[in-house]
Amino acid sequence: MKNNRVALITGATSGIGKATAFELAQKGFNLILTGRRINILEELKKNIETHFNVSVHIVSFDVGDKIQVKRAFEEIFKIHNAIDVLINNAGLALGLSGVDEGEIDDWDRMLDTNVKGILYVTKYAMPLLKKSNAPHIINIGSIAGKETYPNGNVYCASKHAVDSLTKAMRIDLLKYNIKVTLVAPGAVETEFSNVRFKGDIVRAKNVYKGFIPLAPEDISHIIAFIIDLPSHVNINEITVMPSQQATASIINKKEE
């Protein structure tokens, strides 16, 4: 396991992050998994290490809290000499209302997590990425970062920022031979809508009714493909949609 590549995945407790953890473990990556729910991280570590010959280091912190991020990386530095792949996956949406009716606390949390979180984690991971022979940063964006939809305002703005930051990273880190990729999914059935609607399960389930959304594993397969490309090849960005989705807000839903 000493020669295995190391991947750090934020937001690994569910959805795309969790699926990617299993995908990369299967490919022999040692993992650093982060999230806010330590009990789920502990279960995930046990499950992966039981089924795959890899090591899993878990760290629980909020990516939007710069003090917590700094402390987390002080711990990571003690265990790891390098990180080969950083997957900035942690993100969320809160609320779906006009900008005149939005909750300020929701705005703050979305910007802290979706934008500042990527900045903080990437900043502190940089010394370890620079020590890798083949460093790669993958930012999980969204179709909401490509177009703005009704009542999406601040969430869409945060994902547009991820899109722009990814381009900036690719420019600024080119001299270090660090690959940078944006993966921008359309509708993926995860905890996303449950979080957005603050536990309103009925409303959350209705988001995915009448069509077949993407599964987290669809995105994790794509991430693995991107990582496995030859060193001279980089996917700058990829937008992935369910076949029944044309734009952020146009989905061909069938009556059930």
C-alpha to C-alpha distance for 247 and 148, rounded to whole angstroms: 10
Q: Which residues contact 115 (CB under 8 A, 6 or more apart)?
A: 158, 161, 162, 165
Tokens of 217: 């594993």
- The one-digit pLDDT tens for each residue of the chain (256 residues) are 445 899 999 999 999 999 999 999 999 999 999 999 999 999 999 999 999 999 999 999 999 999 999 999 999 999 999 999 999 999 999 999 999 999 999 999 999 999 999 999 999 999 999 999 999 999 999 999 999 999 999 999 999 999 999 999 999 999 999 999 999 999 999 988 989 989 888 998 899 999 999 999 999 999 999 999 999 999 999 999 999 999 999 999 997 6
Mind spelling out the 3-state secondary structure of the chain?
Answer: CCCCCEEEECCCCCHHHHHHHHHHHHCCCEEEEEECCHHHHHHHHHHHHHHCCCCEEEEECCCCCHHHHHHHHHHHHHHCCCCCEEEECCCCCCCCCCCCCCCHHHHHHHHHHHHHHHHHHHHHHHHHHCCCCCCEEEEECCHHHCCCCCCCHHHHHHHHHHHHHHHHHHHHCHHHCCEEEEEEECCECCCHHHHHCCCCHHHHHHCCCCCCCECHHHHHHHHHHHHCCCCCCCCCEEEECCCCECCCCCECCCCC
Whole-number Å distance between alpha carbons of 35 and 26: 21
Six token digits for residue 206:
């209705």
Domains and CATH numbers, the chain: 6-240 (3.40.50.720)
Picking from 56, 19, 51, the residue whose alpha carbon sits closest to that of residue 222 is 19
Number of residues that make up the chain: 256
Per-residue pLDDT, 255: 79
AA identity, residue 8? L
Where in the sequence numbering do the catalytic residues fall?
A: 155, 159
